[in-house]
Structure 1
Amino acid sequence: MDVAFPHLGIYIKHLVNHIDVFGFRIAFYGIIIGLGMLAGINIACADAKRRGQNPDLYLDFAMYAIVLSIIGARIYYVVFEWDMYKDDLLQIFNLRGGGLAIYGGVIAAVITLTVYCKVKKQSFFSMADTGVLGLILGQAIGRWGNFFNAEAFGGYTDSLFALRYKMDIVGAGMLNDDVLSHAMEIDGVKYIQVHPTFLYESCWNLIVLAFMLWYRKRKKFDGEVFFIYLGGYGLGRMIIESLRTDSLLLPNTNIAVSQLLAGLCFVVSIVCITVGRKRVKNATK
């Protein structure tokens, strides 16, 4: 057995993390991220039609955003894991084993949309309100790539959703003292039991998506759904990041970069929503 959710009665004998096509290895990590992107594009285009917008704008934008977001996610990861790459720079271009940071992709997507809207003479906030529906759905699906890579998990837990991995399929860099001190041996095989933080985040993202889908027809101003995404995702990420064992840290500190950024996004979103609603209220007086 490679993986189990023992308290849920789910046991997976062999966790396959790739397929071979004509001798070329394709990681499930990449396949799942690709599926997330396709699902995200579909929901964004569907919302664009509902709003009377041109879906082709979003398809066109996606072609740029996908490439630049992957680059942004990789740069973000490499910057905060520089010691891993400084002696072998070619490994920076090896994406098949993972190593993408979501916030790097989000930052790149926002910058790309800003430039795209200026070129196409579109409203950034109007497009962002639709775009974030696709973004968070893509994130919810993409997180399952971490499951197949046996990464992005938290410390030890014996809770209902506890996840058990066979130790030899997990990277040594993700095994901290807390996890190792609770390692167990079953039938001569060593296992770790941890928080499935990728699962928590995937479920949280779906909750935020459901709220945004409900709220989009009730929004008071363009950009409000975008700020709900920033705040909603930020709140969940800030909490979930505190459980993880593999957080990217600010140099020479124990501060998780994504947790800090998530907290900042949450605060900014609250301020922007409050100010935006006050402006709408004052304008209708």
Structure 2
Amino acid sequence: MRPILIKLGPIPIHGYGLMIAVGFLASIYVLRKLSARSKLDPEKIVDLAFWCLIIGFLGSRILFAITRFNDFASDPVSFLRIWEGGFVFFGGLLAVIPFVMWYFKKYKLPAWKTVDVLSIGVVLSHAFGRLGCFLAGCCHGKPTGSNWGVKFYSDLVEPTLHGINLHPTQLYESCALFLLFFGLLWIFKIKRFDGQVALTYFIIYPIIRSVIEVFRGDVIRGFIIEDVLSTSQFISIFVIIGAVIVLGKKIKKIHIKQ
């Protein structure tokens, strides 16, 4: 855990922000390559990715604020302290969807083909983002007796957990996301229909997230049912169901055509 990696004079370089920046730049590189391969305009895809980043950050922060309404109500300015962490990924995803639909319509982009490309970039930037969470100390796990437990002393960690080995759930998720990234790249190369990559992502990631949530120990992420069903797990259920239904319909259409 290293919230501030280095200081350039009086300017602190926060680990979380740096990882977000690295992830975004890496995803832009990948998006350009995949866009060209898909015969999409790389510039339009990069512009879309930039706005998705802004809107996604805002949406994920707003959903986090909703789950911790009392804290933000008593200190509204804390909403702006994004370098301290405090985001709900699904909030960003839900906020981005209507904008993406509008963007597709405006620029006449093929929806499923474009989403296939975007989903790979999202996974890569998200993987780096979780490394940023580890450096910041947010999104940590429950106490563990395992040898790989990590001690967190961040202000984002409950004082009662300081000095106790915790599951590094940020690293668990980051590793899973990097694996998913390479898996989606492989599917991209062999896909039989547009949307196959994106729908795979919308099925696999919620499963990954739901499993990780079991080991999470930070209460600030919010719960639908206290200590039983987190906000992210609740949203994951509907995302998986929706993706499975759409995927099933697409596969059925392919079989009918054959």
Structure 2 length as normaliser, TM-score?
Answer: 0.91
- Residues 205-258 of structure 1 show CA distances to partners (whole Å, capped at 9, x for unaligned) of 111111111111222221111111111111100111111012522467443000
Correspondence for 1:144: 131
* Residue among 12, 21, 25 paired with 2:12: 25
Q: How far off is 1:125 after superposition?
A: 1.3
CA distance in 1, matches of 2:3, 2:65: 26
Q: How far off is 1:140 after superposition?
A: 0.6
Correspondence for 1:260: 234
CA distance in 2, matches of 1:150, 1:169: 5
Map 1:57-68 onto structure 2 (within 5 A): 57-68=44-55
Map 1:151-166 onto structure 2 (within 5 A): 151-165=138-152
Correspondence for 2:213: 241
Q: How far off is 1:271 after superposition?
A: 2.2
1:271 is aligned to 2:256: no
| SS of residue paired to 1:143 | helix
Q: Point out where structure 2 has 5 or more consecutive residues left out of the alignment.
A: none
Aligned in 2, Cα 1:55/1:172: closer, same or farther, shift over 3 Å?
Answer: closer
CA distance in 2, matches of 1:22, 1:173: 31
Map 1:28-177 onto structure 2 (within 5 A): 28-165=15-152, 168-173=153-158, 175=160
Q: How far off is 1:126 after superposition?
A: 1.2
CA RMSD of aligned residues (A): 2.0
- Residues 16-63 of structure 1 show CA distances to partners (whole Å, capped at 9, x for unaligned) of 524434533342211111111111111111111122222111112123
- The answer to whether the 8 A contact 1:80-1:251 is kept is no
- Residues 85-131 of structure 1 show CA distances to partners (whole Å, capped at 9, x for unaligned) of 10121221221211122112222232221111011111221110000
Amino acid at match of 1:37: F
CA distance in 1, matches of 2:105, 2:6: 41
Structure having the higher helix fraction is 2
Amino acid at match of 1:213: L
- The answer to whether the 8 A contact 1:242-1:259 is kept is no
Amino acid at match of 2:30: I
Correspondence for 1:202: 174
Amino acid at match of 1:55: P
| SS of residue paired to 2:40 | coil
- The answer to whether the 8 A contact 1:174-1:245 is kept is no
- The answer to whether the 8 A contact 1:16-1:148 is kept is yes
- Residues 183-208 of structure 1 show CA distances to partners (whole Å, capped at 9, x for unaligned) of xxxxxxx7211111111101111111
- The answer to whether the 8 A contact 2:223-2:231 is kept is yes
What is the aligned length?
A: 256
Aligned in 2, Cα 1:263/1:252: closer, same or farther, shift over 3 Å?
Answer: closer
CA distance in 2, matches of 1:106, 1:120: 21
Correspondence for 1:9: none
Identity %: 25
Amino acid at match of 1:201: E
Largest Rg, 1 or 2: 1
CA distance in 1, matches of 2:101, 2:167: 37
Q: How far off is 1:67 after superposition?
A: 1.3
- Regions of 4+ moved over 3 Å: 18-22, 168-175, 250-254
CA distance in 1, matches of 2:157, 2:128: 26
Structure 1 length as normaliser, TM-score?
Answer: 0.83
Q: How far off is 1:266 after superposition?
A: 2.2
| SS of residue paired to 2:163 | strand
